[in-house]
């Protein structure tokens, strides 16, 4: 596809693109926003470099894609209730969300996506991996696709909570939030249809998916373990190097992501805004 108002450089053949020629500190004109949204739908996750953004400007950008959602487990910035600070201090051993995962699959309406902005990044390490769930579905055998198309999965906020967020929130400067959501569960199709593109995407993830509906965890485990590993095959992924002023916006409906924890002794500070999504179908 051609773009008239922005520059789009694919990051890998699977997904991801770096967008240039856009200053997100300014309100986007409709023509520019339309191209950014088109690149977002085409590449599943888009990245911007060299941005200088205040929290309210992050919110303004995110709101162009839909209502702002509230993440249930981390407290927001004091003066900006729609923004959370994702922080790893030099002495911490864990990182926030340190699994391959799709955000908030345990909600009835999981997020559409998240805007993540780097305030402070380590000089080496701290990259984020992203995986394309369209490809994960399309590269399954015809027999496996046929079986999965009729299944529903149970997703839980309690699965792996210590590894994904609990230990990290308890040991650093991020502030947790007692939201009563610790035991949230939701059932969603194992294969969801993207509301904008119409494409099918695999929708199970290691961090939150417990079992198939109507089956036990033990019965579900062999197929889920296969799907968890298959979904993040190298050829389905891209890798993004963070720098201060970098911003990522990923489509949570058709991607998974994994923040690497390979920067011991370094501080990392990110601001995140979540866009509310729809119930998967």
Local confidence pLDDT in tens for the 281 residues of the chain: 689 999 999 999 999 999 999 999 999 999 999 999 999 999 999 999 999 999 999 999 999 999 999 898 889 999 999 999 999 999 999 999 999 999 999 999 999 999 999 999 999 999 999 999 999 999 999 999 999 999 999 999 988 765 455 566 666 778 777 656 568 999 999 999 999 999 999 999 999 999 999 999 999 999 999 999 999 999 999 999 999 999 999 999 999 999 999 999 999 999 999 999 999 99
Residue pair 185/150 in contact (Cβ under 8 Å)? The answer is: no
The answer to whether position 2 is within a domain reads no
The answer to whether position 241 is within a domain reads yes
Q: Which domain holds residue 144?
A: 7-275
Q: How many domains does the chain have?
A: 1
Residue 183 is predicted with a pLDDT of 80
The answer to whether position 280 is within a domain reads no
Provide the annotated active-site residues.
101, 103, 257, 272
The answer to whether position 190 is within a domain reads yes
231: CATH: 3.60.130.10
Question: Which residues, in sequence order, are CB contacts of 34 under 8 Å at separation 6+?
Answer: none
DSSP-derived pairing of the beta strands 17-20 and 45-48: parallel
The answer to whether position 1 is within a domain reads no
The answer to whether position 15 is within a domain reads yes
- Pick from 95, 93, 94, 75: nearest CA to 85: 75
Residue pair 197/42 in contact (Cβ under 8 Å)? The answer is: no
Question: pTM for the full model?
Answer: 0.94
Distances (CA, A) of 60 to 68, 215, 264: 10, 43, 33
């Amino acid at each position: 596809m051609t773009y008239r108002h922005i520059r789009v450089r694919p990051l890998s053949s699977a997904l991801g693109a770096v967008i240039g020629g856009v200053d997100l500190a300014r309100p986007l004109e409709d023509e520019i926003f339309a191209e950014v949204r088109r690149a977002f739908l085409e590449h599943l996750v888009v990245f911007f470099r060299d941005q200088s953004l205040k929290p309210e400007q992050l919110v303004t950008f995110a709101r162009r894609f839909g209502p702002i959602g509230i993440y249930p487990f981390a407290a927001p910035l004091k003066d900006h209730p729609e923004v959370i600070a994702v922080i790893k201090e030099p002495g911490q051993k864990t990182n926030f969300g340190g699994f391959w995962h799709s955000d908030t699959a345990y909600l009835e309406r999981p997020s559409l996506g998240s805007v993540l902005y780097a305030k402070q990044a380590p000089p080496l390490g701290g990259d984020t991996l992203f995986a394309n769930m369209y490809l994960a579905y399309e590269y399954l055998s015809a027999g496996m696709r046929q079986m999965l198309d009729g299944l529903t999965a149970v997703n839980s906020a309690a699965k792996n909570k210590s590894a994904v967020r609990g230990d990290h929130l308890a040991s650093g400067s991020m502030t947790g939030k007692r939201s009563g959501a610790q035991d949230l569960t939701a059932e969603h199709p194992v294969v969801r249809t993207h509301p904008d593109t119409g494409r099918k995407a695999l929708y199970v993830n290691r961090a939150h998916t417990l079992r198939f509906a109507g089956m036990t965890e033990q019965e579900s485990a062999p197929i889920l373990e296969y799907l968890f590993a298959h979904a993040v095959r190298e050829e389905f992924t891209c890798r993004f190097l963070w720098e201060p002023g970098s911003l990522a916006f990923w489509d949570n409906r058709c991607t998974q992501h994994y923040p690497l924890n390979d920067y011991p002794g370094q501080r990392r500070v990110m601001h995140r805004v979540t866009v509310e999504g729809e119930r998967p179908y």
